Amino acid sequence: MASLSKLLDPDVLSRINPLGFKAARVVEGSITGLHRSPMHGVSPEFAEHREYSPGDDVKNLDWKVWAKSDRYVTKRYEEESNLRCTMLVDASRSMQYVGKEAQSGRNKFETASTIAACMMQLLMKQRDAVGLITIDTKPRAVLQPKATNRQAAQILDTLESTRPGGETDLGPVIVRAADQLKRRGMILVLSDLLCDLDTLYESLGKLQHNGHEVIVMHILDGEEIDLPFNDSIIFKDIEGSEEIFGEPWAFRKAYKAAMEEFIDSVTSRCQSSGIDHVLIRTDQDLGQTLAQYLHRRQRMAATTAGRGRIGGSVV
Amino acid sequence: MPFLAPLLLFGAVFAAAPIIIHLLNRRQFKLVEWAPMEYLKLTLRTNRRRLQLEQWILLAIRTLLILILIFAVARPFLSGNTAAAWLSLGGRTSRVILIDDSLSMGLTNAGESSFQRSTEQAAALIESIGTQDNLTVVTTSSINAPLSRDTALTQEEANELADEVRKLDPVESANNWAATLAELADLLEGTANSSKEVRIFTDQRAAGWSADAAEQAAKLEAMGVKVVMIKVGSGSQGNASLSDLAPTSGVALAETPIEFTATIDTDGDPQFKVDYATLSIDGVESPIKLPEIAPGQRGVELRLSHTFDEPGQHTIELRLPDDALPGDNSRSQIINVAESVRVLLVDGQPGIAARDSEVFFLAQLLYSGSTPIKTTVLPDTEWFEQPTVGNYDLVVLANVERIPRRRAEQLQSMVEAGSGLIIFTGDQVDPTAYNSDLFDNGNGLLPAKIELGEAMEVEGLILEQIDNSPMPVLQQLYLEKPALLSKTSPRKVARVILPNSDERKDTRVLARWNAQGQPPAAIEKQVGKGRVVLWTVTADREWSDWPTEASYFIGIRELALTIAGVSDATGNLTAGQVLRQRVSASNPPSRAEVIRPGTEQTDSAAIDRSVSNQPQIVYSNTHRAGLYTMSWDVPGRDDLSERLFALSPDVRESDLRQLSDEEMQQMLPGVDLTLVDLSDPGAAGAQREIWRTLAMLLMGFVLVESAFAAWVGREH
């Protein structure tokens, strides 16, 4: 049962549920929802007045205006639609890493799954359609967005049954996965981004070009950023066979600088492309991080309502 | 570098600890499956060189830390300032270490003598010289017998040689640097390597250096020898020296008090006092109280008197208490105590009756008195027939016409060895023969050239007031009762021509005739150890009536007894002089030996046969003061002949004036000379432990290590 899944972290849910999640752009939903639709129709949300012209549905005539001004004016309503959100979860081997300080002992994949599950729960509550694609070197499981309870159960089952494996080749795989989406919507990428960044940026650009709103949840373990080891270490490539011996204390500062540069470069690139970039550290409170992001997004949505794109990053 | 606890140096293996710890650390690693490998590789690629450098520096500092700690625990020391440039060696060189072992090197300062300091430094040098160079080690007194001659030594041999050098002692002889440098040049000529270097350890005393050294320096310069002169020893620190010990009169007679004069010099150290001495006569010691001697007082005379009961050879030794320079504190003398004074009167004009004899009055005056005098009277012709002069303490020539050249030479040897000679002129004397054979341009026995006697109006004898007159009583008589001598008025006097003042430093006029121009009456000349006195009158009454007067008796008798001396046989020499003993040419010994002072062992002596009719035993290893006993066999006889020699320290070495560096450079012009001063005992003498320096170094390294490690840690 979906409500019993360990991925649905109550702490996280309790923090994000009150906030809700709205698409920054207009979305083409099939049912009525929270999100603005490009179609105008029956909706409680008034949009504008327009001079009546013959052929218009008379049920839309605003009689109060006629009574006051003797003019025939029709009311137009802004239609609200449901969101189609597809979550792309990186299930490569590198997502398996778990540091000592990780919250609830979750590795990066489990963290990504928790985020996916919680976001799914949030969106489903809003009657938004949610889909899931797990990827490594190719799309593994593909669940087209739906807003049914059965979909929710399937998503949770998929996430729980997936074991990370294989190498990361995020860029091309994202494009291939997105090609399977029938309508434009929101794409939530959950990955550590330890892949070729140039092809990744290229792929994200293509998604945007196809009309998708892209959010990148950048998941890294705290140890991967801070390199807090004091012993002599043999670093073995988690996705390959290469081994490097090193005494981390000797190059910690330089390594941290390199990682910070990596994160900064991703942040600034996403920012310039209008992609939300959220850094999720597995050693930090996940609910808080997500709540911060959603809160910030809410504020930004309020100030930029009607605009096509939003910027900014929540870290 | 030497260590006091060299075994602890094995702890140096602990220097490998940081390396081992590092290797062990590498073995104790954790395996981590890592995702951001690309960023790890990037970091390592850009920082690898810096990281490695830092690690190496840290490893080197930690290894050095342990090495210094072990080094300090093993207690290294520096031998003097061996670290100074003079010890730095390099190249393939024939090296000569020359140690001055003359008497003055025994001067003690701060508990250590200059010689000890020299040998310690030289030994340290020998130990560190390595196997690449040829080494000659030699002392100045034994420059012909080096301890090592141009040999490449193994470390073990070098250590043995160094020990041998440490056991050396200074001698009591003086050093003649000109001769030493000549021998040194010969030594260097025979060395194998073209690069030659001499290190001379010396106290640089002025005594022993002369202008002749420059000539030898030219030889060293021509060979391109590098000379390093290492100065040891400072000024005097309280020294008294016994500069002379000699009997006052030439002949020592049994049962007659014999007077000795000892001369004591002290340096100017006000703290230093010498108030007693030890007199040893034939081995029996007795203390002598000395008169008050002020600091810096020189030439203090001490009169001693002793009566020997038995005739024969006796020894006398005077010894001052130990001081800064003990080598010059004692002197020995051999006294040949005779039964009587042996006098030969050579009669140039023997008469038929005794009274007519030329030497009648002389014989009379010698027979009289208490002193036993054995007088032999020989006519000149008879004397000339004898092969030698004979064994006499005094020879008197009275109106002898001429002395054959051969006999003149014998006489000269006899006087040089200590005997006395009195010459009386007369009508028979041939001035030309005398002047050529005996005066010999001032080099002979005759104090002045003589001319034929001439008539003269004389009104008495004038005694010159001089020190150490051989006729002190007559001198006194002249002062108190001049009338007694005014009666002396020869009718005829031989004129003499005194040598000019430059040539006559050994010649002096004892008495003059009170006549026009005051012509000399008696002229004395010192020849070697003996003295010659020429009287310008006859010994008999032919030219004057003086022989009949009391003053003649008094004067001539005391003159005879004063200048009579035991010739040749005394054997009182100075350390460093060669021992010589003439032996029979017809029955020469087959072997000769010498027992050196302080040893029981015999040392063989050479028999010099280069002069065929005068073979002699020669022994030159005489640099120690004391009694040497020479013995030799006489073929056909069972027992050995023996002779005793007493060698006293060379007083020239008591002069402690040092040459300045400039003077030294002048002594060795042109030579590649480096002067090193090791005379300060604090700076150079004692071995100096350097643990303090190492402790400071260790602390410095600990600080550097901590700071560097902290910096590296913070950087990363």
Question: What is the per-residue pLDDT across B499-557, written as a single tens digit (0 to 9) for each?
Answer: 887 667 789 999 999 988 889 999 999 988 889 999 999 999 999 999 998 899 989 99
**pLDDT given at position A33:** 54
Name the one residue in this structure whose structure tokens are 């004009």. Answer: B349
End-to-end C-alpha distance for chain B, whole angstroms: 42
pLDDT grade for B333, boundaries at 50, 70 and 90: confident
Name the band, by pLDDT with cuts 50, 70 and 90, for residue A36.
Answer: low
* Interface residues from chain A to B (CB-CB < 8 Å): 94, 96-97, 192, 194, 221, 224, 229, 231-240, 242, 244-247, 249-255, 258-259, 262
3-state secondary structure of B640: strand
- Residues of A with CB below 8 A from B30's CB? 229, 231-234
Q: Is the pLDDT of residue B248 over 60?
A: yes
For residue B31, give the chain A residue with the closest CA.
Answer: A234
Tell me which residue of B357, B528, B372 sits closest to B444, measured CA to CA.
B528
Distances (CA, A) of A203 to A109, A269, B382, B441, B556: 21, 13, 149, 131, 146
In Å, how far is B707's CA from the nearest CA of chain A? 16
Q: How far apart are CA A10 and CA A16, in angstroms?
A: 10
CA A123 to chain B, closest CA, distance in angstroms equals: 32
Closest-CA distance, B703 to chain A, in angstroms, reads: 20
Size of interface A-B (CB pairs under 8 A): 87
Q: pLDDT > 90: what percent of chain B?
A: 20
Residue A266's pLDDT is: 94
Interface contact B282, partner A, CB < 8 A: no
pLDDT band at A113 (very low <50, low <70, confident <90, very high): very high
pLDDT the model gives residue B686: 41
Q: How buried is B700 (Cβ within 10 angstroms: 0-12 exposed, 13-18 middle, 19+ buried)?
A: exposed
Mutation target among A167, A219, A235 for the B interface, most CBs of B within 10 A: A235
Report the residue of chain A nearest B716, measured CA to CA: A253
Q: B627-659: per-residue pLDDT in tens?
A: 899 999 888 888 888 888 889 898 888 888 888
Q: How far is CA B630 from CA A25, B337, B510, B593, B617, in A?
A: 134, 19, 40, 6, 9
Averaged pLDDT for residues B368-395: 88
Test mutation, A232, A242, A260, chain B, max B CBs within 10 A: A232
The answer to whether A278 and A293 have CB atoms below 8 angstroms apart is yes
Nearest chain B residue to A229, by CA: B30
| Distance from the A103 Cα atom to the nearest Cα atom in chain B, whole angstroms | 19
**What pLDDT score does B90 carry?**
47
CB of B45 less than 8 A from some CB of A: no
User: What are the tokens at A38?
Assistant: 């490009």
Three-class secondary structure of residue B399 per DSSP: coil
Residue B34 near chain A (CB below 8 Å): yes
Q: List CB contacts of B430: < 8 A, sequence separation 6 or more.
A: B401, B402
What pLDDT does residue B4 have?
A: 63
**Minimal C-alpha gap between A195 and chain B (Å):** 9
Residue among A234, A242, A254 minimizing CB distance to B43: A254
Residues B132, A281: Cα–Cα separation, whole Å: 72
Distance from the Cα of B69 to chain A's closest Cα (Å) equals: 28
Which whole-number Å values give the CA distances from B710 to A129, B179, B703, B704, B715, in the listed order? Answer: 57, 68, 10, 10, 8
- Higher local confidence (pLDDT), B177 or A2: B177
Query: Is the Cβ pair A238, B712 closer than 8 Å?
Result: no
Average pLDDT of the segment spanning B64-87? 67
pLDDT at A26 > cutoff 60:
no
The token pair at B516 is 């026009």
Mean pLDDT of chain B: 84
Q: Across residues B381-386, what is the average pLDDT?
A: 91
Find out whether B110 and B39 touch, Cβ atoms under 8 Å: no
pLDDT above 50 for B563: yes
What pLDDT is stored for residue A139 in this prediction?
A: 84
Segments of B75-133 assigned E as strands: 77-79, 94-99, 108-109, 112-113
pLDDT 10s digits, A165-219: 887 778 888 888 878 877 788 899 999 998 888 999 999 998 888 888 899 999 9
Average pLDDT, chain A: 82
Give the residue from chain A lying closest to B714, CA to CA. Answer: A253
**Is the Cβ pair B31, A236 closer than 8 Å?**
yes
Residues of A in contact with B28 (CB under 8 A): 231-232
Which residues of chain A neighbour B36 with C-beta distances below 8 Å? 194, 224, 259, 262
Burial of A272 (0-12, 13-18, 19+ CB in 10 A): exposed
Least confident of A29-38, A178-187, B399-408, B693-702: A29-38
pLDDT tens for each residue of B266-281 = 877 777 778 889 999 9
Residue B611's Cβ-count burial label (10 Å; 0-12, 13-18, 19+) is exposed
Residue with tokens 């073929």: B635
Of B31, B36, B38, the CB nearest to A234: B31
Contact at CB, B31 and A242, closer than 8 angstroms: no
Band of residue A308 on the pLDDT scale cut at 50, 70, 90:
very low
- For B369-382, give the DSSP string: SSS-EEEEEEEHHH
Q: Binning pLDDT at 50, 70 and 90, where does residue A9 land? A: confident
Q: Is the pLDDT of residue A221 over 90?
A: yes
CA distance B699 to chain A (A): 25
Contacting residues of A for B37, CB less than 8 Å apart: 235, 237-238, 240, 242, 244
Gap between the Cα atoms of B573 and B649, Å rounded: 9
Residue whose C-alpha is closest to residue B197's, from B109, B86, B61: B86
**A20: Cα separation from own chain's centroid:** 13
Give chain B positions within 8 Å (CB) of A97.
33-35
pLDDT tens digits, B127-151: 877 777 888 999 998 888 888 888 8
Q: In degrees, to the nearest 5, what angle opens at C-alpha B218 toward C-alphas B212 and B221?
A: 145
Rounded Cα gap, residues B423 and B534, in angstroms: 5
Q: Is the CB of A224 less than 8 angstroms away from the CB of B36?
A: yes
Chain B residues within 8 A of A253 when measuring between CB atoms: 715-716
Q: Which residues of chain B have a CB within 8 Å of the CB of A221?
A: 35
Mean pLDDT of B179-204: 87
Amino acid B452: pLDDT: 83
- To the nearest 10°, the Cα dihedral for B243, B249, B255, B261? -20
Detail the DSSP E strand segments found in B188-327.
196-202, 226-231, 240-247, 252-253, 257-266, 276-281, 284-289, 300-307, 312-319
Amino acid symbol at B302:
L
> What pLDDT, on a 0 to 100 scale, did the predictor assign at position B655?
82
